[in-house]
Amino acid sequence: VQLQASGGGLVQPGDSLTLSCAASGRTGSGYAAGWFRQAPGKEREFVAGIRWGGSSSSTFYADSVKGRFTISRDNAKNTLSLYMNSLKPEDTAVYYCAAAYTLADGRNDWEYTYWGQGTQVTVSS
């Protein structure tokens, strides 16, 4: 599975931005996916995840983004999205999409097998 993240950019505090992650290769609707981010000088941290269970999915978020970010997926297009609202300067980071066939907790980067290359999000006035 290959992942390609896109959509990053420079925005002002309070703005919205949507990141996309296109999956190719041996993809299917059975995999779980997530977004992580890494700010300069900090460790990579979990942002949002989505599990797929048959005909429905479940989402989960880091407390720091809950209520502001929304993760979604389009199985027909093999894409994962992260809608980010009310962006703050502390959201500035390189954002990575990731995928796995099974997840335990889903908030640890070691649980994910496949990773995209990252897209930069900068929130600044």
pLDDT digits (tens, 9 = 90+) for 26-71: 766 667 999 999 999 999 999 999 987 667 788 999 999 999 999 9
pLDDT digits (tens, 9 = 90+) for 52-64: 766 778 899 999 9
Distance CA 30, CA 69 (A): 23
Beta strands in the chain (DSSP E): 2-6, 9-11, 17-24, 32-38, 45-53, 56-61, 69-74, 79-84, 93-100, 114-115, 119-123
Sign of the Cα pseudo-torsion (69, 81, 42, 106, in order): positive
**Amino acid of residue 52:** W
